[in-house]
Structure 1
Amino acid sequence: MARDQTDAQPISSKDELVGWIAEGCRPESEFRIGTEHEKFPFRLKDYSPVAYDGPHGIRALLEGMRGLLGWEPIMEGETIIGLYDVTGGGAISLEPGGQFELSGAPLETIHQTCSELHAHLAQVREIAQPLGLGFLGLGSSPKWTLAETPVMPKGRYDIMTRYMPKVGSRGLDMMYRTSTVQVNLDFSSEADMVKKLRVGLALQPIATALFANSPFTEGRPNGFLSMRSEIWRDTDNNRAGMLPFAFEAGMSFERYVDYALDVPMYFVKRGDRYHDVAGASFRDLLAGKLEALPGERATVSDWANHLSTIFPEVRLKRFLEMRGADSGPTSRICALPSFWVGLYYNQASLDAAWDLVKGWSAEERQRLRDAVPREGLAARIGNRTALDVARDALALSSAGLEARDRKNSFGDDERIHLAPIVRVAEEGKSLAETLLEKFNGPWGRSVEPAFEELAY
């Protein structure tokens, strides 16, 4: 998450909450692509994690990036916790365990997204290498224990750290030891949102299988291809999952708001202070009846921040966030938005994708989602494998990108960025499976070569 919202405009009714989301509707000509990716910092000399403080820590990295980019600092009190580009809309932020996140600017093409990514990685290397730091592209931390993982100085993470063990067994692993890539995409109307949300939820396990890249924990195989996805199965099921209600008749902005209102809050932010209200109801805040903050009324920023603490496989704000993929090599970070843009930003492909998944029951979708972290592309839905579905979805995505016809300076359309996962589908083997073969072969049953081969 890039930065907390700061709009103090009062908000007092459910209709206003619905209206705030509905304001995200925009004409197709204004559709944009916002790509976010996280990566694990590590010390080049010994592959150890990187603390916030110290001359070679995360703070020094942020200060160096601030000097290089000229971006505005995001502060919490006297502590720098991120950077914000006031001109382009991009941001750099810290996840709980120091995962360094780029929240990309809203861009028109995948070519621009990929250029933004390469520029960011070059800038990060320029600052990080003199500090003796590198960055790792995996979906979960392959070596460090939870106790060894540093903690970033952000108030919202303190609250979440206290709350997570009360609602699931894997919440702290999610916060401190996972890393993802996601893409944020637009909708033109409520009906367009509903179709995209349904297609995205149904196919999110397919994306997880294609991008699976987290097979190691604490130095050895963990039994999964996407441990990051497995962790989400028991993080906090009140705010995660496959949203079966989204497929019911009458799905709407209002129905999602009703769901969000029933998700317990984490915090209310006033000024620089995070007030711990974990488990409390946003409905009470809306009515001015929040026990921890009597008389305090909801604001637009409270609603935006609350929506950012809900973690389904596809998240609705004023756009849709596709949340199913492990982080990975640079080419995969470009491939993830390519996959979804091809499906979402061409009507024929979107309609065909809905035809592909609309016959699946809620139980079938859930079984697929539960099986994919361990089985990957071999998981089944009905009489088909995830690989079968992936090949169909990739063909639709490729056709959508071809129809978009957005070319780079060499005359290539956006399908060139889809190529890495097209190869995964052709070979029927995810990156996680390739890494396990290396672990059991040339890596000599050590995960340390990953810090060389999967460094940015």
Structure 2
Amino acid sequence: MPSPTPILTPLLAEGLAQSMFCSTGEDLVGLECEWPVRDWRTPQRRPDLEVLESIIEPPLSGGGRITIEPGGQVELSSFPTPGVSNAIDQVNADAEEVHARLLSLGLDFEVRAVERCRPPERILRRPRYQSMESFFDARNPVGRWMMCNTASLQVNVSNDPCEAGDHHRWFVLNQIAPALVAMFANSRGVDSTGQSWASLRQGIWMAMDPARTATVRTDLPPAQAWLEYAMHADVMHILNPDDHTQGTSVSPGTSFARWMADGNEFGYPTMEDLTYHFSTLFPPVRPRGWLELRVLDAVPSWIRTAAALVVGTIIQPGAASAIRHEIADLSDLHVVAARDGFRDPLIARSIREITRIVLENVHTVSDRSDHLAALYEFVKRYTSQGMSPGDDGAPRVLPICLDHIGEASTSR
């Protein structure tokens, strides 16, 4: 019989939070792409889960991993690799293979950050997602849209090397994440109240449960801030200790700190429970033993290349130092960025300055002419014009209200 997992203590919790920021000894980059999938013969019907799951094997040639999201979106996670250009090449090759597998089944994916043609419908029936849906439904309908009808580009980077010691990647990504929201916004639209959004997708994420989607504090040491954030967020799902594929839904109202202090009918939390709870939190920058930048809308492949180069450049010591000294702290402006984009003067000015710093330093991460050409074209077509990719199309109407975001996060 395996020994029981020890009850979580404050010291164990602190150690687990600290481990999320430890250096791995390697400097790696990974990209995650999501796409809504459609059968154009029956466009209003979501593909069957069994059909979608049939594309997961055999392994992809680039080493990436295919997973299926709750609404049937296909997610491709590239294999972590040294260097931004290597990550770009790997995800591009694997994306072509994913596309071919879908086409062989009469399916196709769309580059769309918010799908508005089909109502949100979950096709994954796993307990985790059942708990998530019921938890979010208790607040507002936004959570279903997030789970089933949104798609993003996520850039994952290693924590700072051990010798750096100042967590500059954590701080610089949090500092300018709202500028990146606006810079790559690709889901312009209007919600049911008539409010215009540059990134409907980011608005949806920020509205569904601010306690688990707002920015983590940056005025504290990173591990302390992350643990405080996790403790204040409500528990939504408690694992079955004998079978982690199973579990029990928890209604809103029980923070992890309260569970840890008072216990409940399931007892007291363990290290495994806190590890799982971390995975149900979705801040703009999430520590996982690496850093996930979670704020970018799904974009076409050539813009994905530009975005990867931007993120890969800003975490380098020279660019990060310039940004931290020359760019305002935008970390409380996620809703402003999602709503107003380039129309906000501070956001627009910051994007221009960040772009200048990136162009001055991008040679530190890539010398690939084809990749650099994508970045230069993006800057020429969009950033220099005060535009984001979503400005290319007509705004669409989202039949839900995004007014559930606290006013404190929408003002300066």
Matching of residues 190-339 of structure 1 within 5 Å: 194-216=167-189, 223-243=196-216, 245-246=217-218, 248=219, 250-270=220-240, 271=243, 272-279=245-252, 280-283=254-257, 286=260, 290-294=263-267, 297-300=269-272, 302-339=273-310
Aligned counterpart, 1:436: 394
Does the CA-based 8 Å contact 1:181-1:326 persist in structure 2? Answer: yes
Contact 2:181 2:338 in 1 (8 A): yes
Distance (whole Å) between structure 1 residues aligned to residue 167 and residue 390 of structure 2? 32
Q: Find the partner of 1:58 among 42, 49, 53.
A: 49
In the TM superposition, residue 251 of structure 1 has moved relative to its aligned partner by: 2.6
Structure 1 residues 319, 64: CA separation in 2 closer, same or farther (over 3 Å shift)? closer
Deviation at 1:70, TM superposition (A): 7.6
Q: CA deviation at 1:400?
A: 3.1
In 2, the alpha carbon distance for the partners of 1:391 and 1:337 equals 17
Q: Distance in 2 between matches of 1:435 and 1:70?
A: 33
Partners of 2:377 and 2:263 in 1: CA distance: 49
Which residue of the other structure, out of 348, 352, 356, is the alignment partner of 1:387? 348
Runs (4 or more) in structure 1 with deviation over 4 Å come to: 8-11, 24-29, 189-194, 284-287
Deviation at 1:356, TM superposition (A): 2.7
TM normalised by structure 2 equals: 0.83
The code of the aligned residue for 2:313 comes to G
Aligned-partner SS, 1:141: coil
* Structure 1 residues 309-345: Cα deviation after superposition (integer angstroms, max 9, x where no partner): 111121122122111111111122222222111000x
* Distance apart, 1:299 and its partner CA: 3.0
Q: 1:394 to 1:192 in 2, by over 3 A?
A: farther
Would you say the 8 A contact 1:143–1:216 is kept in 2? no
Which residue, out of 86, 90, 96, partners 1:122?
Answer: 96
CA deviations over 1:111-168 (Å, ceiling 9, x no partner): 221222222222222221122111011110031223xx34322211111111102234
Partners of 2:277 and 2:52 in 1: CA distance: 29
For residues 154 and 114 of structure 1, the distance between their equivalents in structure 2, rounded to whole angstroms, comes to 32
Q: 1:378 aligns with which of 343, 368, 377?
A: 343
- In 2, the alpha carbon distance for the partners of 1:25 and 1:230 equals 28
Q: Does the Cα contact within 8 Å between 1:141 and 1:216 map onto a contact in 2?
A: no
Q: 1:47 to 1:154 in 2, by over 3 A?
A: same
Q: Is the 8 Å Cα contact of residues 40 and 135 (structure 1) preserved in structure 2?
A: yes
1:400 to 361, 365, 376: 361
How far apart are 1:215 and its partner, in Å? Answer: 2.6
The change in CA–CA distance for 1:230 and 1:154 in structure 2 (over 3 A counts) is same
**1:422 paired residue number:** 379
What displacement does 1:397 show?
2.3
Q: How many angstroms apart in 1 are the aligned matches of 2:258 and 2:122?
A: 35
SS in structure 2 of the partner of residue 415 of structure 1: helix
Distance 2:237 2:359 in 1: 42
Give the Cα separation in 1 of the matches to 2:105 and 2:195: 31
Q: Which amino acid aligns with 1:377?
A: F
Q: Distance in 2 between matches of 1:193 and 1:165?
A: 40
Identity, in percent, stands at 21
Q: How well do the aligned residues superpose, as a CA RMSD in angstroms? A: 3.1
Write the distance in 2 (CA, Å) between the matches of 1:165 and 1:64.
31
Kept in 2: contact 1:169–1:234 (CA 8 A): no
- Once residues 145 and 63 of structure 1 are traced to their aligned partners in structure 2, the CA distance between those partners, rounded to angstroms, is 24
Counterpart in 1 of 2:118? 144
Q: Deviations over 1:62-94 (max 9, x none)?
A: 22331x3289xxxxxxxxxxxxx9xx5x43222
* Partner SS state of residue 320, structure 1: strand
| Amino acid corresponding to residue 369 of structure 1 in structure 2 | H
User: Alpha carbons of 1:25 and 1:375: their partners in 2 closer, same or farther (altered >3 Å)?
Assistant: closer
Asked if the contact 2:348/2:386 (under 8 Å) is kept, the reply is yes
Aligned partner of 1:47 in structure 2 is: 43
| Aligned partner of 1:153 among 104, 110, 125 | 125
Residue 141 of structure 1 contacts residue 217 of structure 1 at CA under 8 Å; is this kept in 2?
no
Question: Using the alignment, how far apart are the partners of 2:20 and 2:371 within structure 1?
Answer: 25
Pairwise CA distance, 1:50? 2.0
Structure 2 distance, partners of 1:299, 1:224, is 39
Q: Distance in 2 between matches of 1:151 and 1:323?
A: 23
Q: Which residue of 2 aligns with 1:18?
A: 14
